[in-house]
Structure 1
């Protein structure tokens, strides 16, 4: 039986993107919430809570983007021209956020500037990722294996709304992360914010669950046709369970539960997008087999992936294990 290398690589790329979203999402969320915590000590603890892991989280972005270029070059060559503006905005935001991590500790005069660079860069990166996602979900026109749209096709009410929704979702990840990692008044304020971001995220997921199926006929068929309509029942039920766990965890001071439940919501939302997309990698123009590199290239690159992926997973898991538990405000990690 022949091995479907294109499908395997699509699964690897999808996993890398999901890993990036749920891991870098919470530290972007911490940056988004930065202006709500004006005290310097609180901000120091917030940055210390993500300092040991934030740069490692971005490994998955490199793997997803680099893998897309190497394994699905036609998709890469089609998506990039369609999304140049939001992708550049995302990278600028990530640069400001990354530089702020290093420079904020080394200056007093410019500390406020780097505080805002950290918050603004995080918000810009999150919003740009949401806009790019919204534009991709809308569909990218392809003619003769090339992007056939205009410069501003990515800018629509749906993509802007998706950008705002992802900022809200990352704020939920950030606030629940702070509940899990901090103590005292900082933890309690994060808990109060988590209630608000939970309701806002629930509203955003409900809106886009109703909006997305009517963007393209294939989405409508996928969600309401048999047998995939089963997911239209199962996914909302699982989302409801995650929301219940999140709220009860906040109420009962089970500080790790809200963060894990918020991660579950993101995974379920991602699964919903995957159900809508498959088998397209550029909706609704190119399937994963249309866009894949030659079989020999896929096989050669898969050997490297089989070696590197376990190493990345092991390093990521080890770093989170070493820095588990609450952050000590007197010590920190910096």
Structure 2
């Protein structure tokens, strides 16, 4: 493999790491936000908000790294994807703004009814953001039309059945992560409630993922071939089964973080299978990593930046989790 190919692969790996880090970290936050929107007891909603309030903004740093990295490392892919996804991206950013405002200012509301409305907005903003992210991912897998390096579609491909289904799968997955996060961070009545939710959501997520894999295999012959490859599906299936067993066993131990880590593992396996299915494409059906990449000098410069920013961001995330670790006890709101 030539040096240029290694640089492209390292660039793709840095970009993929940023994307999956965002999905795992902010995905749990979005899941908690959605659960807050459907939780009746004010003291429980307060505990949910406290569990993510110190860390949610740091988690969204990975979204900036992913978007900026795509532009700098693979500008041709950015040029095709952005026009195709203007609408879901704009809706997603607006939803994230609404969610951020609701989360930060909910304690300023003195009236119980107003605070409930704010929590509903938080849940709605989290749900819309998750749906848009899933639709974006589904549009990417489905394929984006391009001609001479420019988008040539209608701009509404994201509203098709497959992207919308991907949005629904990601929303359910985020809810699962959120329930597992709350099981780790809370106790007593709220913990018992989210434990039941986490178990139900795990089953639903895995069933939806199986349907998604089957549907994906019908979109292109390359997808069907890759997904039928024993080197991909056997390790993925065994890992999924092992993590599922550990997930349910984790509720019978004192290690309350274990169900969350197992859910994260399922997300990682799903992401790895998707990357292995698409490779070497970055924007199906015909934009590959090689022809979408920026020049070697630009990629080396950006990789140096990623080599500095990724460890710093990981340290900041870890430090924030450490400082605000421990159980959260619901109090009167």
TM-score by length of 1: 0.95
1:143 aligns with 2:119: no
Distance 1:309 1:161 in 2: 31
SS across alignment from 2:328: coil
Distance 2:70 2:32 in 1: 28
Equivalent residue number for residue 325 of structure 1: 326
SS across alignment from 1:33: helix
Determine if contact 2:183/2:191 at 8 Å carries over to the other structure. yes
Distance 2:237 2:133 in 1: 24
Determine if contact 2:42/2:332 at 8 Å carries over to the other structure. no
Per-residue Cα deviation, 1:85-113 (whole angstroms, up to 9, x for no partner): 21112111111110111111101243122
Distance 1:161 1:2 in 2: 39
- Greater mean deviation of Cα atoms: 323-332 or 117-126: 323-332
CA offset at residue 240 of structure 1? 1.0
1:212 aligns with 2:212: no
1:18 aligns with 2:20: yes
Determine if contact 2:144/2:153 at 8 Å carries over to the other structure. yes
Equivalent residue number for residue 202 of structure 1: 206
Distance 2:51 2:166 in 1: 27
Equivalent of 1:47 in 27, 46, 49: 49
Equivalent residue number for residue 126 of structure 1: 130
SS across alignment from 2:157: coil
Equivalent residue number for residue 270 of structure 2: 269
Post-superposition, which runs of at least 4 consecutive aligned residues in structure 1 deviate over 3 A?
A: 251-254, 328-332
Equivalent of 2:158 in 154, 157, 179: 154
Equivalent residue number for residue 98 of structure 1: 100
Distance 1:203 1:192 in 2: 17
Equivalent residue number for residue 233 of structure 2: 232
Determine if contact 2:76/2:292 at 8 Å carries over to the other structure. yes
Distance 1:78 1:22 in 2: 26
CA offset at residue 328 of structure 1? 3.6
Determine if contact 2:37/2:122 at 8 Å carries over to the other structure. no
Distance 1:301 1:18 in 2: 19
Distance 1:38 1:19 in 2: 31
Per-residue Cα deviation, 1:11-44 (whole angstroms, up to 9, x for no partner): 0000000000000010100011113321111111
CA offset at residue 151 of structure 1? 2.4
- Greater mean deviation of Cα atoms: 242-251 or 72-81: 242-251
CA offset at residue 257 of structure 1? 1.0
* Two-structure CA RMSD over aligned residues (Å): 1.6
TM-score by length of 2: 0.95
Equivalent residue number for residue 292 of structure 2: 291
Equivalent residue number for residue 165 of structure 1: 169
Determine if contact 2:140/2:284 at 8 Å carries over to the other structure. yes
Distance 1:260 1:302 in 2: 28
Equivalent of 2:31 in 25, 29, 32: 29
Per-residue Cα deviation, 1:214-244 (whole angstroms, up to 9, x for no partner): 11111112222xxx43111110111111111
1:179 aligns with 2:176: no
1:222 aligns with 2:223: no
Pairs aligned (count): 329
SS across alignment from 1:154: helix
Question: Structure 1 stretches of 5 or more lacking a match?
Answer: none
1:117 aligns with 2:121: yes
Distance 1:154 1:28 in 2: 21
Equivalent residue number for residue 5 of structure 1: 7
